[in-house]
Amino acid sequence: MDESPPPPDVQSPPPPPPSHTGSPTDFLKGVVGKKVIVRLNSGVDYRGILSCLDGYMNIALEQTEEHVEGKITNRYGDAFIRGNNVLYISAAEEL
């Protein structure tokens, strides 16, 4: 068998992404129990402590403030947000 190295024109696989960034799942695991900002597709923001979330991205928040165009429009002790409305989840404190 010829054990010569592969010809140089063979493309090497792309370098792995920078380590330590983690996957989206790692981010979500890390952010549970922390202050977050949840933005919905409608543009409304919910700021509160992320209690938990599931595979549909349904979200349970504590001490929630509803912000519309920068103003607080509502407060909820607990809030369940249906996952289909979620645009993003942003960490609002150091992880």
Partner 1 sequence: MDVSSTGIQEPFDLIRLSLSERVFVKLRGDREMTGILHAYDGHMNLILSDVEETIMIVSEGEQQATVNVAKRKMDMLFVRGDGVILVSPPSRT
Lookup result for tokens 């922390």: 34
The smaller minimum CB distance to partner 1, of residues 40 and 91, is found at 40
Q: Side chain identity at 89, as an amino acid letter?
A: I
User: What does the alpha-carbon distance between residue 70 and residue 44 come to, in Å, rounded to a whole number?
Assistant: 9
Q: How far is the CB of 95 from partner 1 (least distance, A)?
A: 19
Q: Is 37 in the site for partner 1 (CB under 8 A)?
A: no
Nearest to 73 by CA among 36, 45, 93, 35: 45
Q: Is 39 in the site for partner 1 (CB under 8 A)?
A: no
Q: Is 81 in the site for partner 1 (CB under 8 A)?
A: yes
The partner residues of 72 in beta bridges, in order of sequence, read 67
What does the binding site for partner 1 look like in residue numbers (CB under 8 A)? 40, 42, 46, 51-54, 58-60, 62, 64, 76-82, 84-85
